C-alpha cells in the first residue's frame, strides 16, 4: 500500500534539506580558531544541528496517524483559517529590516522589526511596543559594541 506524502512531511523534508545545504556551506568558512578557542563554524554548526533535528522531529510527528479527537476537541467546532495578514506583516517587517539596516542603521531597522513583530502578534498597545522595541534594540546595539562587534549605525557611536 502506497501512502501519500502530506504537506507537513514535505515541509519536514525541506527543513532537513535546508539544514544539509547550510551544513555544506559551513565548510566554506575558514576554520581558524578565535581568541576564545572556538572557531567561526561553531554557532552555524549549532544552528544547523538544531535545524536538522527539528526537521527530523517534524517528519516523525507528521508520519504518525492522527489521534482520535477527544471530547473537548469535538466540541470546539471547525478550526479557523490561517490569518495570512499576520504572516505578511511579519515577513514584510523582516524584509524591510534586511533592506534598511545598511541605510538607517541597526537600531532603527531593528526597532521597526520588533515593532512589526508586535503588530503581527496583534498587540493592542502600539506606543508601548514602539518604546520597548527601541529600548531592546538600543540595548543590544550597545551590548554588541561593548563586545567589540560593529553593527551599522545611523549616527556612528550612538545609534
- 3-class DSSP string for the chain: CCCCCCHHHHHHHHHHHHHHHHHHHHCCCCCCCCCCCCCCCHHHHHHHHHHHHHHHHHHHHHHCCCCCCCHHHHHHCCCCCCCHHHHHHHHHHHHHHHHHHHHHHHHHHHHHHHHHHHHHCCCCCHHHHHHHHHHHHHHHHHHHHHCCCCCCCCCCCCC
**N residues, the chain:** 159
Structural domain boundaries of the chain? 7-75, 84-146
pLDDT at 11: 87
For 133-158, write each residue's pLDDT tens digit: 999 999 998 888 887 778 887 766 55
Sequence-distant (≥ 6) Cβ neighbours of residue 22 within 8 angstroms:
44, 47, 48, 51
Sequence-distant (≥ 6) Cβ neighbours of residue 120 within 8 angstroms:
86, 87, 89, 90, 93
Flag residues of the chain having pLDDT under 70: 1-3, 33-37, 66-80, 82, 155-159
Cβ atoms of residues 111 and 137 within 8 Å: yes
pTM for the model = 0.56
Amino acid at each position: 500500500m502506497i501512502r501519500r506524502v502530506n504537506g507537513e512531511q514535505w515541509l519536514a523534508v525541506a527543513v532537513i534539506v535546508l539544514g544539509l545545504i547550510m551544513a555544506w556551506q559551513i565548510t566554506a568558512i575558514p576554520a581558524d580558531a578565535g581568541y576564545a578557542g572556538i572557531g567561526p563554524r561553531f554557532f552555524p554548526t549549532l544552528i544547523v544541528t538544531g535545524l536538522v533535528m527539528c526537521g527530523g522531529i517534524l517528519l516523525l510527528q507528521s508520519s504518525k496517524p492522527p489521534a482520535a479527537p477527544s471530547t473537548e476537541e469535538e466540541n470546539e467546532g471547525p478550526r479557523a483559517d490561517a490569518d495570512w495578514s499576520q504572516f505578511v506583516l511579519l515577513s514584510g517587517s523582516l524584509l524591510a529590516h534586511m533592506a534598511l539596516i545598511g541605510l538607517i542603521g541597526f537600531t532603527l531597522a531593528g526597532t521597526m522589526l520588533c515593532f512589526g513583530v508586535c503588530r503581527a502578534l496583534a498587540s493592542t498597545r502600539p506606543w508601548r511596543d514602539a518604546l520597548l522595541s527601541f529600548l531592546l534594540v538600543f540595548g543590544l546595539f550597545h551590548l554588541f559594541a561593548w563586545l567589540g562587534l560593529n553593527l551599522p549605525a545611523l549616527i556612528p557611536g550612538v545609534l
